Chains A and B, each alone.
Chain A
Amino acid sequence: MSHFILKRIASALIGLIGVISLVFFLIHMIPGDPIDVMLGESALAADREALRQGLGLHLPLYEQWWNYFTALAQGNFGHSLFSGRPIVDLLLERIPATLHLSLIALTVAIIIALPLGLLAATRQHSLYDYGSMGFALFGMSIPNFWMGPLLILIGALWLGWFPVSGREGWNAVVLPALTLGTAMAAILARMIRSSLLEILGEDFLRTARAKGLSSIKAIVSHALPNALLPVLTLLGLQLGGLLGGAVITETVFAWPGLGLLMIEAIQQRDYPVVQAAVLCISMTYIVVNLMTDLLYAWLDPRINLQNPS
């Protein structure tokens, strides 16, 4: 067990170093001189030199890379080029909004996906099955930058039940969470269905039915816990899609989270903020995946057998 945990933590750390390095190189992928792009070609020579010194762009690449790492380790993300404020403050301001949206969207996704997947798997090849899987296919094919405006049109403009954008009031989260949650529900429902279908063919379920358990009881207490285990890992991976999609959803609804911060920073050519936002979102993703894997190992003792130390 401890061997597995150590290995998993080590690989997460390597992933983290890789992600930080890639994000570091982002600023060097800007075509031409990044200073030109950030300040514009008409900027004063003194200002350009000051920014170059400030960002450390005059140093050799390996030294810049090392400095970036050491600064991050001290929690120093630098300053925004646009507002001049410390980037850490900007991030801390925006994190609660993204967390709020993601958690509600995740809840929405589970509430939609669980019954659909269950229905589809237990009544395979029935109308329910085709109906839920049809819904899932639709959900996967509706991009959230279209779903969002559509929900705004219906829920905010025609019905007037929810605000068009922003985070004012308790009901402001409804439309963005629905937008983000539906796409995830679609994928989740498919995963639950296929995972459940595999379990439903197992011998222990036939035994449970033979003992006289009702089919509902057999499914809820014997099949579901087993079927949800693989779904848990996939859920962690799907969170990546959720976080990536949150960038677009936040832009559609002007939801003041990390995603909107990143898009605003791209528009203002405020690259240090872009780097920090990407890093912040990716780090969350890595940590969540690490947690789901560890949780999985804890829930499923068979993991030990597969990884003998």
Chain B
Amino acid sequence: MMRLWFPMSIIIIWGCLAILSPVLPLTPNTIDLTHILVGPNQDFWLGFDELGRSIADRLITGARTSFFVALSVVALGLLIGGILGISSGYFSGWVDHIFVRIVDIMLAFPGLLLAIALAGALGPGIENVVLALAIVGWVGYARLARGQVLALKQADHIIAAQAIGATPWRIMSRHLLPLITAPLIIEASFGIASAIIAEAGLSFLGLGVQPPEASWGSMIRDGTRYMLVAPHLVLIPGLTLMAVVLAANLLGDWLRDWLDVKEPKRFR
């Protein structure tokens, strides 16, 4: 139970803070020159940054950025990847051939590299970050969906559905989709973790949200200049980022175990 509640509570707390941030009395962009680089203390638990802005407030508005980007990227990826992957696996033939080639080409780019290049070309801004990450991210879901559909296509209930004249759309949405949701959900929970890291990474490189907007990645970047005098500028957003990403990864691990009980034999 611990394995579920620990990551779940972290995600829920930060999720709620992100949703509520517009109505909370936050002043993430208010510059207060009397508080420049003040460290964590009794009155202000998380301290202030190089412009005297409250780190706690920036952290919470940054959470909104992170969650918005992560959820949009995963939702877009699931939608595009799911539709393309399922139909490609189901119809096979030349559609599938072209699809596999496109996926191969997308996978020929190493990890974040294409997203960085795309974000660089599209220009900074949160929408462009979502776009760049979604263009790179849909491939994983598509490949997974296709593989699952290929394995299920010959199942008896699919052949039965075809025999009674169900349309391909009905078969895909009613008979195939429910069976492949579990692996897609597991993939999505890891996708959330990697999208949060990717958004912060792009913002760290200056390709994400623009100042004065806050993002955990840009907070870390701005903080590195003051690391010797005020390490809390780097430590606090980094620890937060790590906790949320760790929670999302733990949740994915837990989901995988919960939905699929497969354990290799033990060696003695």
* Contact of A15 with B105 at beta-carbon distance under 8 Å, contacts A141-B242, A248-B112 already known: yes
Q: Does B95 contact A (CB under 8 A)?
A: no
Q: CB distance A157 to B228 under 8 Å? A: yes
A262–B207 Cα distance when bound, in Å, is 13
Q: A143-B201, A145-B204 are known contacts. Are A262 and B122 too (CB-CB below 8 A)?
A: no
Query: Smallest CB–CB gap between B13 and chain A, Å?
Result: 17
Chain A residues contacting B264 (CB-CB under 8 Å) are: 194, 197-198, 200-201
Q: How far is the CA of A267 from the CA of B116 in the complex (A)?
A: 12
Which of the 9-residue segments A18-26, A50-58, A66-74 touches chain B? A18-26
Q: Which residue of A lies closest to B115 (CB)?
A: A244
Chain A residues contacting B265 (CB-CB under 8 Å) are 200-201
Q: Which of A103-150 contact B (CB under 8 A)?
A: 121-122, 124-125, 137-138, 140-143, 145-146, 149-150
| Contact of B71 with A by CB under 8 A | no
User: Are A146 and B121 in contact, CB atoms less than 8 angstroms apart?
Assistant: no
Q: Is B123 an interface residue (CB 8 A)?
A: yes
B249 with A153: CB separation less than 8 A? no
In the docked arrangement, what's the CA distance between A7 and B226, Å? 54
Majority DSSP secondary structure for residues of A touching B = helix
Instruction: Determine whether the beta carbon of B104 is less than 8 Å from that of A14.
Output: yes
Are A150 and B104 touching (Cβ within 8 A)? Answer: no
A189 close to chain B: CB less than 8 A: no
Q: Which residue of B lies closest to A26 (CB)?
A: B121
Q: Chain B: how many interface residues by the 8 Å CB criterion?
A: 48
Question: Once the chains are docked, how many angstroms separate the CA of A54 from the CA of B123?
Answer: 23
CB contacts under 8 Å to B, within A219-265, are 239-245, 247-248, 251-252, 262-263
- A145 lies within 8 A of B110 (CB): no
Contact A153 B122 (CB under 8 A): no
Known: A18-B105, A122-B267. A282 touches B113 (CB 8 A): yes
Judge whether A27 is part of the interface by a CB distance below 8 angstroms.
yes
Find out whether the CB atom of B113 lies under 8 angstroms from the CB atom of A278.
yes
A179-202: CB near B (< 8 Å → 1, else 0) gives 000000000000000100110110
Q: In the complex, A239→B241 CA distance in Å?
A: 24
Rounded to whole angstroms, the CA-CA distance of A145 and B206 in the bound complex is 12
A-B contact pairs, 20 of them (CB 8 A): A18-B108, A19-B108, A26-B118, A37-B123, A122-B267, A138-B242, A143-B238, A145-B220, A146-B241, A150-B238, A152-B224, A157-B227, A200-B266, A201-B267, A240-B110, A240-B113, A241-B112, A244-B111, A248-B112, A251-B204
Other than A149-B227, A239-B110, give 7 A-B pairs with Cβ distance below 8 A.
Answer: A26-B118, A137-B246, A140-B249, A200-B264, A266-B205, A278-B117, A285-B109
